[in-house]
Structure 1
Amino acid sequence: MYQQVLDPVAHSLAWSSLVAAIPLLLLFVLLGAMRVTAWVASLISLAVAIIVAVLVYGMPIGQALLAGTEGAAFGFFPILWIVINAIWVYQLTVETGHFDVLRRSFARVSDDQRIQAILIAFSFGALMEALAGFGTPVAVTSVMLMALGFKPMKAAVLALVANTAPVAFGAMATPILTLAKVTELSPDTLGAMVGRQTPILSVLVPLALVGIVDGWRGVRETWLPALVCGIFFGLGQYATSNFVSVPLADVVASLVSAAAVVALVRVWKPRRIHTESTVIAGGAADSPTPEFAERVEHPDSRADVVKAYAPYAIIIAVFVICQITAVKNLLDKATIKFEWPGIDVLSPSGSPVTLSAFTLNLLTTPGTQMLVAGALTMIVLKLSVGRGVRAYGTTLHQLRWAIVTVMAVLALAFVMNLSGQTITLGTWMAAAGGAFALISPILGWLGVAVTGSDTSSNSLFGALQVTAANQAGLSELLMAAANSSGGVLGKMISPQNLAIAAAAVGMNGKEGDIFRRVVIWSLVFLALLCALTALQASPLLSWMVPS
């Protein structure tokens, strides 16, 4: 049996926090400053985390290693299981040529890549986040953007930055439901509070996306559709989470925002059409690209367009059906729960740590549902079993280094969590007193940066946020919600998501380059959310906190 210790270094929480942060800081330094390949950086950081757990925290080496194996297993199932099958569905459309049809169809809505980025990376990505969560939106939208002509780096950055505001309500609000469970607060009230924070981010993210695509000029020229998308998404997320249904918040918001942008571009055109390879002035092509000319002269048939959209319609239909209570309960009968062998850990207070409980939700996981959607896609696209299997093999080969990275990062997270390193960091930050309102989102951000999951971050730090709020005389509802809202901004710099994005766009080994492009956005948005939370904790905006 191992009992976690909060302050193993000189009985000082501050010194212990500095040591506990070493594995995580090392990971980001290796990725961002030294440009080490993600899977190598992750394995090095994992080794350091095990050393700290054993030599500093006194965790038995056997339990430290077993904690790593549990994390690696969780990294593969359910996380990689979702990503592998999502990329496989994409490979099926490439195999049949229907992804090119989809590309041309999206381009007919608007040839401007700034507007395409808003629709695909943000609105469609939010729908994927709502239905599947984890790495699915990044995996799917990044390859869709590449198919539209975006350069791989830009496609990866757009997909990661867009995967922010929707994350708190992702996978049918799983992060909120988990937060409610660990804090014993109402999920409806928590969802309402988060729905009064992330919609403000929603207004800003589409503006950031057009800035990434075309710089300040892009913001000046396409601020209107960006704002329309952000405002309608924010309003949809706020209204649904506060007055309708927390799990449906992102579903409604994504559809409303996409519809608003499509309606706008029917009556409004940017002064200049921007594409990756050429700039088209005056709202018309001075020298049309071959793809544009082909689309005008030989439009795709209605049947081909329907088939191109079919895989995504199938994904949505399968996921929605699986969310029906009766179906979900039936599928849940195949779920297996067990304690990970050899792990026996107590918290600093002496209560058993629940992280050793492992769940194999074989049929309710979005990964299996994505696999079913892929099989149905093969039927609709008339793809033979042999070609489908070959496409799966191609997917596994493409993701081979991402698989190693994700499993290593989750192993690192579980070692840090079970040894007590992460709790040391969180407890040290929670000792900030009244200033905790300002730094509360940072705790959630840190949790997601380590684990790659807002759900995991809420499970890890949710109760700690409530305890710190009570000690500092702050709203426990606000602090708990800030953990989830802050967590969404750590998603884009999580090594897990960086690896998924790099693999999806064929940039294995370039995770550090992607990290440097997105980290500034993560920090800027985090600073804004910290300021918002501090204001909501003050008399100035306290009216925004549900009573």
Structure 2
Amino acid sequence: MNLVLAIIPVLLLIILMAFLKMSGDKSSVISLVVTMLIAFFGFHFPADDLLFSFLYGALKAVSPILIIILMAIFSYNVLLKTEKMAIIKQQFSSISTDKSIQVLLLTWGFGGLLEAMAGFGTAVAIPAAILISLGFKPVFSATVSLIANSVATAFGAIGTPVLVLAKETNLDVQVLSTNVVLQLSVLMFLIPFVLLFLTDPKLKSLPKNIFLSLLVGGVSLASQYVAARYMGAESPAIIGSILSIIVIVAYGKLTASKEEKARKSTLKRTEVLNAWSIYLFILFLIILTSPLFPGLRTTLENNWVTRISLPINGSIMNYMVSWLTHAGVLLFVGTFAGGLIQGARIKELFVVLWNTVKQLKKTFITVICLVSLSTIMDTAGMISVIATALAVATGSLYPLFAPVIGCLGTFITGSDTSSNILFGKLQSGVAGHIQVSPDWLSSANTVGATGGKIISPQSIAIATSAGNQQGKEGEILKSALPYALAYVLITGVIVYIFS
């Protein structure tokens, strides 16, 4: 009975969004209320714990998630205000007029770099917004951005998910990182191909799509494997994304038509740098405050810190925000500095920020409800019931389903890191019972979590916000769901065969 009750919130959310086509804010409010009732009556979760769990979830939703979403969309809106987005569009067109190359470059390359540096939604929001400005349909832009924002999330935010997994399981970071790359190896070729095929499904384009996906996938796999094995979790996604961008741009230039090659860009270098100043500032600040500079990061992390403690389930849940290294704050500072360089006045920038807040009001409701829902499911023991039941039911076949648990964690929480916190120890523990390497099975949690990222309601809320398509969450979920299921199935087979 506990298992049936625990599954209800997840099924309800899918049914409301994907099949009844209810908007994300309404679906999440209804699902949250039902979850609270199940926790209180079905799992006998005390009212005060329920209240504090909701508050804890709301706090986690506001920071880092909502602040980062707000500032990511703010950066895009400033580019529209200063009319520099037109230059960025022109530059992408100068690299290649081939739509599939533009999509691959923006989602897999640039999006992968954003995920590697900052994570928490930036890699969905910014590429989707730029794609729409290039003339792609909003639902398509959201879908390809979600599909692309999968593999890179394993090492997102400077390797945070794997670093957290290593801490939770007491396993070696480099071994876990290497296993993650090996388990994702097939998908490093398949995801670029899916992105290319969705953009250009014509049969005559198939050889080109296959060749380019093999090229980009090969570069990604080789570079990420070397980085993971010899450097750890911080650098694979960064190095892989940068090299992918170089390869895609080179391919676009080499395969351009004679007319395209003959056409000289009218853009001056100063104009291009000015147009990209916002994103260049953001990347500079993210790198500067990353673990790549441990001394500076430690100093910044220990100043301007907000700490809140909440009593939940007989223990204290600590919520902490280090504002000087907060990705949302870095996005704001980079956007503000870049906006001023691009000619915007301070007052205009604050007007754009306020209009962005109004644009995202439904997203605020959606994300707060979803993160609170996942927090209540965790603290009330509902998530643990689902995961344990799956482990018990599958027995020796468990490695085949191990990524499903990671996927479930990300689907509910919206975070690969949170999924590893929830289920990392469970995966390692089950490995001991079925004589499988705990490193291999724990890595499977992260790999499955990257697939769950494609259909996480929080990620979908970010994607709809980027294109001002609030209310179409169900449509996007339905279009992305088959790819997420195939993704988790492939990873499950890989984990099982080599376990």
Asked if 1:419 is matched to 2:419, the reply is: no
Q: Among residues 280, 285, 289, which one is paired with 1:318 in the alignment?
A: 285
Deviations 1:336-393, CA, capped at 9 Å, x for gaps: 464533x3315xxxxx5x7x22112222221111111112212321211011001101
- Please give the residue correspondences for 1:283-294 in structure 2 after superposition, counting only pairs within 5 Å: none
Residue 524 of structure 1 corresponds to which residue in structure 2? Answer: 486
Residue 269 of structure 2 corresponds to which residue in structure 1? Answer: 302
Q: RMSD of aligned C-alpha atoms?
A: 1.8
Determine if contact 1:118/1:226 at 8 Å carries over to the other structure: no
| Equivalent residue letter for 2:253 | R
Determine if contact 1:445/1:486 at 8 Å carries over to the other structure: yes
Q: Among residues 1, 17, 30, which one is paired with 2:16 in the alignment?
A: 30
Taking structure 1 as the reference length, the TM-score comes to 0.87
The alignment of Structure 1 onto Structure 2 pairs a total of residues equal to 494
Residue 482 of structure 1 corresponds to which residue in structure 2? Answer: 444
Residue 87 of structure 1 corresponds to which residue in structure 2? Answer: 73
Residues 53 and 315 of structure 1, relative CA distance in 2, 3 Å threshold: same
Provide the secondary structure at the position in 2 that maps to 1:382.
coil
| Equivalent residue letter for 2:36 | I
- Please give the residue correspondences for 1:128-207 in structure 2 after superposition, counting only pairs within 5 Å: 128-207=114-193
Determine if contact 1:210/1:219 at 8 Å carries over to the other structure: no
- Please give the residue correspondences for 1:456-471 in structure 2 after superposition, counting only pairs within 5 Å: 456-471=418-433
Provide the secondary structure at the position in 2 that maps to 1:357.
strand
Deviations 1:259-300, CA, capped at 9 Å, x for gaps: 11222233224xxxxxxxxxxxxx588xxxxxx9xx969823
Residue 233 of structure 1 corresponds to which residue in structure 2? Answer: 220
Deviations 1:461-518, CA, capped at 9 Å, x for gaps: 0001111111111111111000001100001111101111001011110000000110
Q: Gapped runs of 5+ residues in structure 2?
A: none
| Equivalent residue letter for 2:417 | T
Deviations 1:199-249, CA, capped at 9 Å, x for gaps: 321111010001211225344443222221222112211111112342011
Q: Gapped runs of 5+ residues in structure 1?
A: 1-14, 270-282, 286-291, 347-351, 538-547
Q: Among residues 453, 461, 469, which one is paired with 1:507 in the alignment?
A: 469
| Equivalent residue letter for 1:320 | I
Runs of 4+ displaced beyond 4 Å: 295-298
- Please give the residue correspondences for 1:321-332 in structure 2 after superposition, counting only pairs within 5 Å: 321-323=288-290, 324-332=293-301
Asked if 1:390 is matched to 2:351, the reply is: yes
Determine if contact 1:165/1:199 at 8 Å carries over to the other structure: no
| Equivalent residue letter for 2:219 | F
The structure whose Rg is larger is: 1
Residue 334 of structure 1 corresponds to which residue in structure 2? Answer: 303
Identical counterparts, % of pairs: 29
Residue 405 of structure 1 corresponds to which residue in structure 2? Answer: 366
Q: Measure the CA separation in 1 of the matches of 2:354 and 2:147.
A: 29
Q: Measure the CA separation in 2 of the matches of 1:172 and 1:434.
A: 34
Q: Among residues 339, 355, 366, which one is paired with 1:378 in the alignment?
A: 339
Provide the secondary structure at the position in 2 that maps to 1:196.
helix
Provide the secondary structure at the position in 1 that maps to 2:403.
helix
| Equivalent residue letter for 2:137 | K
Provide the secondary structure at the position in 1 that maps to 2:469.
coil
Determine if contact 1:50/1:65 at 8 Å carries over to the other structure: no
| Equivalent residue letter for 2:252 | V
Asked if 1:111 is matched to 2:73, the reply is: no
Q: Measure the CA separation in 2 of the matches of 1:411 and 1:146.
A: 31
Provide the secondary structure at the position in 2 that maps to 1:386.
helix
Q: Measure the CA separation in 2 of the matches of 1:297 and 1:181.
A: 52
Deviations 1:68-120, CA, capped at 9 Å, x for gaps: 12111101101111111111111111111111100110111110110111111
| Equivalent residue letter for 1:148 | L
Q: Which stretch has the larger CA shift, 28-37 or 195-204?
A: 195-204
Deviations 1:425-459, CA, capped at 9 Å, x for gaps: 11111213211111000000000000000000000
Q: Measure the CA separation in 1 of the matches of 2:179 and 2:284.
A: 29
The structural deviation recorded for 1:186 is: 1.5
Residue 412 of structure 2 corresponds to which residue in structure 1? Answer: 450
Residue 251 of structure 2 corresponds to which residue in structure 1? Answer: 264
Q: Among residues 75, 83, 86, which one is paired with 1:100 in the alignment?
A: 86
Q: Measure the CA separation in 1 of the matches of 2:80 and 2:185.
A: 35
Q: Which stretch has the larger CA shift, 364-373 or 223-232?
A: 223-232
Residues 395 and 337 of structure 1, relative CA distance in 2, 3 Å threshold: closer
Q: Measure the CA separation in 2 of the matches of 1:298 and 1:256.
A: 24
Residue 324 of structure 2 corresponds to which residue in structure 1? Answer: 363
Determine if contact 1:199/1:238 at 8 Å carries over to the other structure: no
The structural deviation recorded for 1:145 is: 0.9
Q: Measure the CA separation in 1 of the matches of 2:197 and 2:346.
A: 43
Q: Measure the CA separation in 2 of the matches of 1:338 and 1:312.
A: 30
Residue 8 of structure 1 corresponds to which residue in structure 2? Answer: none
Provide the secondary structure at the position in 1 that maps to 2:100.
helix
Residues 298 and 458 of structure 1, relative CA distance in 2, 3 Å threshold: closer
Residue 251 of structure 1 corresponds to which residue in structure 2? Answer: 238
Q: Measure the CA separation in 2 of the matches of 1:322 and 1:99.
A: 27
Deviations 1:168-189, CA, capped at 9 Å, x for gaps: 1000000011111111112222
